[in-house]
Every structure is written in structure tokens, then in C-alpha cells.
Structure 1
Amino acid sequence: MIRTGTDYRESIRDGREIHVNGERVADVTAHPMFKPLVDIRARIFDMAHAPETAAVMTVRGEGEVNAQANALPFSQADWWAKRRATEAVLDVVGGVVTRVGDETVGEMWSLHDCAATLNEIDPQFAPNIAAHIARVVRADPFHVSANTDPKGDRSKTPGEQDPDMLLHVVRETDAGLIVRGAKFETAAAYANQAFTKPTIATWGEGVLSPYAVGFICDLGTPGLKFICRTGFATRAPAEDYPLSNRFDEIEALVIFDDVLIPWENVLFHRHVASAMAMRATLHRYSAFAFVQRSLKFADMMIGAALFNLRQTGLDRLQGVQEKLAQLACWREGIDAHLTSAIAMAERSPAGLMMPNQSLIYAGRVFAAGQMAAMMHLARELCGGQIGLTPDAAAFRAPETAPWLEKFYGINDEWQAEDRRRLMAFARDLLNSDYAGHRLTFELFAQSPPFAHLAAVYRNFDWDGPLDCVRQAAGLSERVMGTATRSCADSPASRWFATERAGP
């Protein structure tokens, strides 16, 4: 059943060993660097109970009320509902948060699709997969993802260097697996559990490997250590850095120092083929929620730039309008990929409804690949004052406030305080340490850019363009091998002939 924010806070007060900035954290729910995101995640839990948001945040299944984000998708309507729920969260919290569960839980649905393949390779863990997928829906944990290892020297195999550079099994016991190594995980220090699995790396040349292991890790397990990067919250006043102080999702290097993973939490083990099958479909669903954040980020950039231009009348200039149009095209392109991925959704091998795979993966490349350029364009439109404006304290100090009122006030509509707030927001969105971190996160959080392109390559319908050219050029069908489908039989053409026409 759905939990409350209080339930969540109590669940992570479990004595876990968290370190940040050389300090041992006594209470992750109260520490100033973690509290902002703990509060946001608690707010999301409470939104499922609040009368004004409960309908969009929940879904009824098997006699229970469950979180909309955790429910398996069986129809296009389910994806529209998930999109509305995410939009509601981002609107209520007033910013972009990514690793809050709805983006990471999609990896479990991919595991659901892989279950039959994993079962063929090694059937002993099939019941565990089904049990944990059901548990995510019913127990409503804060579920995150563990992918990236320290890796070490990537020119060497795991056996040629310190084996702990990739998480691996060191021995089997009656109680479960003993694992050693480390994973970088966003939000792990204040989450309940993580789907822990191999990174994109070599697992060795054999059929079996101690590095080919996937499991659900209870993040309160004894033996885990969380070494976190220093957060952006509290570094500078919230008035001057409103995003840094509220939306910094802190990463942790999670140390597995001979940690016991009970057998019931193991999802696959030893077989390299299992790891490869899982990695090939890992972001089949979660890419949608990831790309949806880019849409919100685009809206924030456009709004910050346009307000800065309108306050001084520069939005009337043709050159400025052209730059705004570039931002708008990027934003609308992201929206188009999200919308069409639902409109042309596909049935998965295990019977779930997937966003159209080619479109959602192409959308991820489109959104992340252009983000750096769009941020720079937004900086240009905002102008140099986002890097020059004094801090909030100067706008209040008796000796400086009159001068800042004079030079930052424009008219009755734009007084100095509103302009200061806008400059601070734009600076934090585009120029701050938080802004740079956010850009890097967008590039690498689900996998590096080359892997994004590889996903597009694997899912694009190459036969459609080939057959179009075959017909247009009058080539024989021999050049297509066994492919005989015409252009009219492409996924897009089928959608226009059926869904577009209506029931």
C-alpha cells in the first residue's frame, strides 16, 4: 500500500553508515545537505494521500491503492497517467528531480521482460524476479538504481587489476551471496533499495563470471558504507542559489565490504548471458521518465530567458526571436518524442506496453545531445547580468540597497527585488556548480552518449528505408534478403492507418 512521508523518513533512519565532507551523518533526514531531497521524496509520498493530488498519483490494482509511478504499464493510457503524475510532482516541488523512483523503477519492468530469457539460462531465480516486481508495487519503497562501478583501468580485464574495481561475488553461503566492490548511486544514501547490476564492461571471456550478478540491495544492510560527494545545499544562501539548495540529488560511492545478499534477493548470478540480456533492455521504460525531465528543464530555460528579455524589451528584436525559436524547437522536439513514443507504443515480449523504442531512444539522444548548446544559448539570451548581479544581502544592506534599487528597478512592473530573484534563478540554472553538475548528469546518468546511440541503432527500423529505396530504385527483392515489407507497412504507416483514424 502507498506510504506516507513519515513512513519513508522512519524507514531510512536505520543506522546506515553515511559520510559526507569528512563527517559521519547521524540522521540523513535532518542533515542540511540531504534534508532538501528527503523532504521532496517525502512530499511525493504524501501527494498520494493529499485530496488535490491523490487521483493523479495513485492507481487501484488488485483491491489496493498503489503509487502510479510503480504500477506496471499495460496500455497507452497507463503511460499518459504516468506522464501526468510526473508532471504533477515537478510542478508541486517547483524544480527538476530525477532519481525519485519513477525513473529507476522502470528498470524492474525491463527485468520483467527478461524473466523468460533469464529463466532459460538459469531457472533458480525466476521466483525472486516475480516477487520483487510485485513488492515494488505493493510495498511502495523508494527504489533507485546501481550501475556504475569505479572500473579502474579500463584497458585491463578485471583479472588483471584489483578485482574490487567491479562489483563481484566472492563466495556463496547457505544464507546468500557475499559481494565485494563499489557502486556509484544517486540518492542511495536516502533510498530504501537499489536494483544492483553489472555496468557496461567486460565480464570476462567465459560463460560464467563472478561479475555477472544482479540483485536487490536493501540499502540498510549492515556492511554498506556510503561515501557521498559534498552537496551544493548550504554552500551559499538559498536566496542567491535557489536550485542548488533545494534540488541537489547527492551521489554516493556505496562500498560493499563483503556484504551478504540473501538468496531471495538475487535476480541472476554467474551467467554472462544473463547480464548481457538485462543490459540490452535496461532503459526500455525508464528512458521515458528520464527524457520527460529534459522537457521540464527546457521550460525553465525558456522561461528564465524570456523573462530576462521582456523586462528590457529585447524580445521585440528579430535576432532575439530567432534564438528563442531555437530553444522552442528543442523543447517541442523533446515533447514530440515523448508524445509519439506513447502514441506509437509497442507491446513488449512479456506483454507490457513499451514506449516506442526507436522514438524514445532517439528522443533521449536529441534531448541530451543538444542540452549543452541550449544552455549556452539561454545564457546568451539572459545576458551578462546573471553573472554580475550582487547577492541578496547587498539588496538589503542600508548602504547598498538604495543604489541597487535605483539601478535594478526598471518600472512599476519590474522592481529591483523581482529582478534580483530572476537573476539568481537564471544564474543557478545555467552558470552555477549545480548547473554544470546537472548537465553532466544528463549526459551520463542512464549511460554514456555512445550507449545512447547504440540503443538507437538496435531499435531503429532499418528495413523501412532500405525497402523504400529498393522500390524507388527498382532493385530486386534479392538485395533485401528475407525482408519483403513495403514502406506502407512501416510502424508509422500502420499507426496513421489505425490509431489516427480512431476506433
Structure 2
Amino acid sequence: MIRTGEQYRDSLRDGREVWIDGERVEDITRHPGFKPVVDIRARIYDLAHEEATRDVMTYVDESTGERNAIGLKLPHTQQDWHDKRRAVDTVMDDIGGIVTRVGDETIGEMWSLYDGKDVLNEVDPRFAENIDRHIHRALYTDPFHVSANTDPKGDRSKPPQEQDPDSLLHVVKETDAGIIVRGAKYETAAAYANQAFVKPTIANWGEEKLSDYALGFICDMGASGVKHICRSSFVGRAPSEDYPLASRFDEVDTLVIFDNVLIPWENVLFYQHTRAASFIRSTLHRYSAFAWVQRALRMADLMIGAALFNVRQTGLEKQQAVQEKLAALAVYRETINAHLTAAIAASEESPSGLLMPNQSMLYTGRVQACTQLPAMMHIARELCGGQICVTPSAASFHHPEIGKWMDKYYSINGNWVADDRRKLLAFGRDLLNSDYAGHRLTFQLFAQSPPFAHLAAVYRNFDFNTPLRHVKKSAGLSDRVLAK
């Protein structure tokens, strides 16, 4: 059954070991560095109960008669994907910003496992059964589910066996109860999530058929031996009036330490068999990439809105050079929108009978969204102008002695008074120019694999046979040229 926001907060008070800035966190739901994003995740849970948004955020399961979250629903129809897209937009509209790691974008990795059941059955039929159970557990118990992916890695010129073995997460012991794992993973939101799908980053096992590093499992984020060491939060570094995004939407990243953690056998999804692990890695984002690209679309909207308001307030909107830059942002935005729309319209049946977004369209859209983002942010900076980096803080605008000067030089007309201009410039700075903006840019470029992996996904999923057939016919080539 869907949970309430308060039930989610209560689930985090499980004695988990969380550290930030050298401080052991007593209650993550109240700590200033975590509270804003915890409150947003709680708000998402509450949206599922409110009359105005309940039917957007949930559906009634035919087998149980219970309401479940749309984001966790297994996709079988195009309408399922339209519903998921609408639910994410509803969340972003409600909170007034972008959050990426909230669960709907990571549950798709479990559906990729579902598609790989035949491969996993070759290893051990129990693993496929575990996947079925965990997918339905997520659906019916509504946990906040994330995905622990990147290891610290160490010296990547050496295999893990030739350096500290804990540089990559691995199994150190098998027991009747399960496997004991050691190592570490980076994961956004792990410290305030309920569970994580933990899997290998890359194929580190060379030509081996079996490897203790080739494993994937579900781990309770409050389990014994799990330690969360978090990066510093952007919240509280400066007044929230001056950094309206960083103070509300920082999703804290965590180095998750697995210090001899017991993973029960029923939570092991694949283990040792490197072919299974490689297959999972190659198909991991066939569903989850959709949610990531949708977030990029919202980022494009925010950049366009911030830029357009800035040129309108200063009367530059009618200049051709300005219109060309706005058009470039619009092309970027609509390119993302087109790939999302086409990925649904041309959706494909997956190996397990689910409906997955058209893979070539989806992965191509991801490449466009991520690789063009730095250039689009720079265009938006140009349009916002230099004042986003030189404007004094809100305290200057509010000060009884110097506030009059801020009113004088920042008021333009009756529509654009100093306080609105200050708010817009602060928003633009935080969106495009702040430490938080730089962090988000790096996060978007690498959080769902690095750019070379994005292109590799396009290569694996693009239909190269059609262009070959066209050239064969047009050039009059023989049939044998199509033989591999």
C-alpha cells in the first residue's frame, strides 16, 4: 500500500549510521542538511493521498484492489508511460524544482533484471525468483528505492586482485544465511532511502567466468555494517533567499561503506556469473533512462524561463541575436521532448513481455540531453547577463540604509521592481552559476554512466541494417556484402 510522508520519515528512524562533515547524524529527518530533500520525498508520498493529485500519482491494482504508486508500476502499455511522465511532471510542478533520485528513476533497473531472468536462470533459478519477489515487494510496500552503482575503484590500471580488494565491492564469505560483502559504493540519496539495488559498475573480471566482484543484491540502507559518509550539503552555506535552489533541492550524495554486511540469499539477485553481470550492465538503463531524460526536459524549461524573463525585463527580447539564442534553447528543449514522445510512440516489447521505450530513440535523446547541456547552460548565462554573478545579497536589498540604492538601480518599471529582479537574478545564479549549478551539471553528465557509455548504448540499439540495405540497393552491391 502507498505510504504517507510521515510513515516514510518514521522508516528512516531505524538507527542507521549516517555521517556528514564529521558529525554523526542523530535524526536524518530533522538534520538541516537533509531535511529539505527528505521533506520533498515525503511530499511525493503525500501527493499520492491528496484528492487533487491521487489519481495522477497512483493507480488501483486489479489483483489486490489497493492503490499503488504509478512510478513503480510495471509498464505494459503506452498509456503506462504517459501516466509515468505525467506523474513526474506533477511532482516537479508541485515542488517548483527538480529532484532526480526519488525512486521512479531507479526502479526501472529492476525491470531490466526482470527482462534478464532467462540469463539468470542459467546461473541459479533462485535469483530470478528473488527478482520477481523484490519487484512485487517494491510495488506493494512502496519503499524509497535507490541504486548503488559506482565504486571508488582505486588504480584502474590494475585488476582488483592486485590492489586493495575492497576498492571494488566483493563477496568475502558465503554462509548458510547469505553472502558477506565488503567495499564501498557512491549513491545519491542512499542516506535517506529505504533500500538500494547494488550492482557492479563495470566488467572488472577480465576473461573470468566466475568472479566475487560480479554481484548484485538488494540491501536495506539501515542494515548492520552499512555506513553512510556524506558529502557536505549545499543547504545552509548561504541564505536561502540568495540560493533558492541549493537550499531546497540538494540531493545529498553518499559514500556507502559495506563493512562485512550480511546479504540474505533471498536478497541476492545475481552472483559470480560474469556473463549474467555483463548482460545486466548492458541493459541496465533501458527503462530508467526515460526518467533521467525527462528531468533534462524540465531543466531546459527552467533555463528558457530564466533567460526569457531576463531579456524581457531589460527590453532585449526583440533583438535578432537574442531571439537566435532563445531559439537555440528551444531547439534543445524540443529535441529532448521529441525523443521522449517518440520513445513512447515507437515503444517495443521487452524480452519478458513488458513495454520498454524505443531503445534507439531513448538513448539518442539521452546523448542529446547530456552532451548539449553545458553549451545550453552557457547560452542561458549569456541571456541572463553578467548581473547574475555581481548582484549583492538579499540582505543588501532589505537593509534600511542601503536598500534605497538597491531599489534605485534594480527597479526598471512598475512591472519589474527591485525585489522581483533580485529574486530572478538569484534564481538564475543558482541555476546556472553557483557551486550547486556546477555540481548538477557534473551529476547529469555522469550519474547514469559517462558519455562514452551513452554512445555505446546508442551503438548497441541503433538499426544499422536499414542504412546498409539502402546503400546495397542503390549501389547495386551483391547479397554477400551483408554477410558479417
TM range (shorter): over 0.9
Q: Which amino acid aligns with 1:157?
A: P
Q: Which residue of 2 aligns with 1:349?
A: 351
Shift of 1:30: 0.4
SS for the counterpart of 2:246 is coil
C-alpha deviation, 1:268, in angstroms: 0.9
The aligned length equals 482
Q: What is the alpha-carbon distance in structure 2 between the residues aligned to residue 96 and residue 208 of structure 1?
A: 41
**1:158 and 1:204 in contact (8 A); partners too:** no
What is the 5 A alignment of 1:323-338? Answer: 323-338=325-340
2:463 to 453, 461, 464: 461
The alignment partner of 2:470 has SS state of helix
Cross-structure match for 1:64:
66
Distance 1:109 1:124 in 2: 17
C-alpha displacement of 1:468:
1.1
Q: Distance in 1 between matches of 2:46 and 2:228?
A: 27
State the match for 2:55 in structure 1: 55
**Contact conserved, 2:145 with 2:193, CA < 8 A, in 1?**
yes
Match of 2:33 in 1: 33
Is the 8 Å Cα contact of residues 149 and 166 (structure 1) preserved in structure 2? yes
CA contact (8 A) 2:73 2:139 kept: yes
Work out the CA distance in 1 between the residues paired with 2:265 and 2:179: 7
Segments of 5+ residues of structure 1 without an aligned counterpart are 483-503
Give me the whole-angstrom Cα distance separating, in 2, the residues matched to 1:356 and 1:206: 33
Deviation, structure 1 residue 108: 0.6
Partner in structure 2 of residue 411 of structure 1: 413
- Report what 2:445 is aligned to: 443
Note if 1:432 corresponds to 2:434.
yes
2:477 counterpart letter in structure 1: L
2:375 matches 1:373: yes
CA distance in 2, matches of 1:267, 1:298: 37
Q: Deviations over 1:48-105 (max 9, x none)?
A: 0000000010011122210000000001110000000010011101101000001011
Task: Tell me the SS of whatever aligns to 1:246.
Answer: helix
| Equivalent residue letter for 1:299 | D
Shift of 1:481: 2.4
The DSSP-based 3-state class of the residue aligned with 1:51 is coil
Per-residue deviation, 1:478: 2.0
2-structure distance, mates of 1:252, 1:201: 23
Matched, 1:21 2:21: yes
Partner Cα distance (1:204, 1:433) in 2: 38
Q: Which shifted more, 264-273 or 420-429?
A: 264-273
Shift of 1:189: 0.2
The TM-score with structure 1 as length reference comes to 0.95
- Tell me the CA shift for residue 476 of structure 1: 2.1
**How big is each residue's C-alpha offset from its partner over 1:430-468, in whole Å with a ceiling of 9 and x where there is no partner?**
000000000000001010111000000000000011111
**Is the partner of 1:28 in helix, strand or coil?**
coil
What's 1:395 paired with?
A: 397
Residue 274 of structure 1, CA deviation: 1.3
Partner of residue 267 from structure 1, selected from 266, 269, 290:
269
- The reply on whether 1:226 has 2:228 as its aligned counterpart is yes
CA distance in structure 2 between the partners assigned to 1:475 and 1:206 by the alignment: 41
Q: Equivalents in 2 of 1:335, 1:204: separation in Å? A: 39
Instruction: Specify the code of the residue in structure 2 equivalent to 1:327.
Output: L
Contact 1:148 1:184 in 2 (8 A): yes
- 1:74-223 correspondence runs (5 A): 74-223=76-225
For the residues of structure 2 that align with 1:115 and 1:343, how far apart are their CA atoms?
A: 26
- How many angstroms apart in 1 are the aligned matches of 2:129 and 2:322? 59
For the 8 Å contact 2:303–2:377, the answer to whether it is kept is yes
Runs of 4+ in 1 over 3 A off after TM superposition: none
Per-residue deviation, residues 119-149 of structure 1 (Å, max 9, x unmatched): 1232232211110011010010000001100
CA distance in 1, matches of 2:352, 2:192: 32
Q: Distance in 2 between matches of 1:124 and 1:156?
A: 33
Please, what TM-score do these two structures have when normalized by structure 2?
0.99
* Cα offset, 1:202, TM superposition: 1.1
Q: Which amino acid aligns with 2:16?
A: R
Give 1:321's match in structure 2, choosing from 316, 320, 323.
323
Distance 1:171 1:204, change over 3 A: farther
Counterpart AA for 1:217? C
Q: Specify the alignment match of 2:6 in structure 1.
A: 6
SS at match of 1:315: coil
Contact (CA 8 Å) 1:338, 1:360: kept in 2 or not?
Answer: yes
The equivalent residue for 1:486 is: none
**Secondary structure at the residue paired with 2:271?**
strand
Q: Identity across aligned pairs (percent)?
A: 67
Cα deviation digits, residues 361-403 of structure 1 (max 9, x gap): 0000000000000000100010000001110000011111000
AA at the equivalent of 2:403: A
SS in structure 2 of the partner of residue 14 of structure 1: coil
For residue 469 of structure 1, report the CA deviation from its aligned partner: 1.1
CA distance in 1, matches of 2:126, 2:227: 30
What amino acid is aligned across from residue 174 of structure 2 in structure 1?
E
Cα deviation, 1:153-180, whole Å, max 9, x if unaligned, reads 0000011100000000000011111000
Alpha-carbon contact 1:168-1:180 (below 8 Å) kept: yes
Q: Kindly indicate whether the alpha-carbon contact (under 8 Å) linking 2:188 and 2:253 is maintained by their aligned counterparts in 1.
A: yes
| SS at 1:116 equivalent | helix
SS in 2 for 1:211: strand
The answer to whether 1:293 aligns with 2:295 is yes
Does the aligned pair in 2 maintain the 1:96–1:297 contact within 8 Å? yes
- Give the superposition deviation at 1:471: 1.4
**Contact 2:114–2:128 (CA under 8 A) maintained in structure 1:** no
Shift of 1:204: 4.1
- Alpha-carbon distance in structure 2 between the residues aligned to 1:190 and 1:179: 21
Counterpart in the other structure of 2:476: 474
Residue number among 253, 256, 260 corresponding to 1:254 in the alignment: 256
Secondary structure of 1:316's partner?
Answer: coil
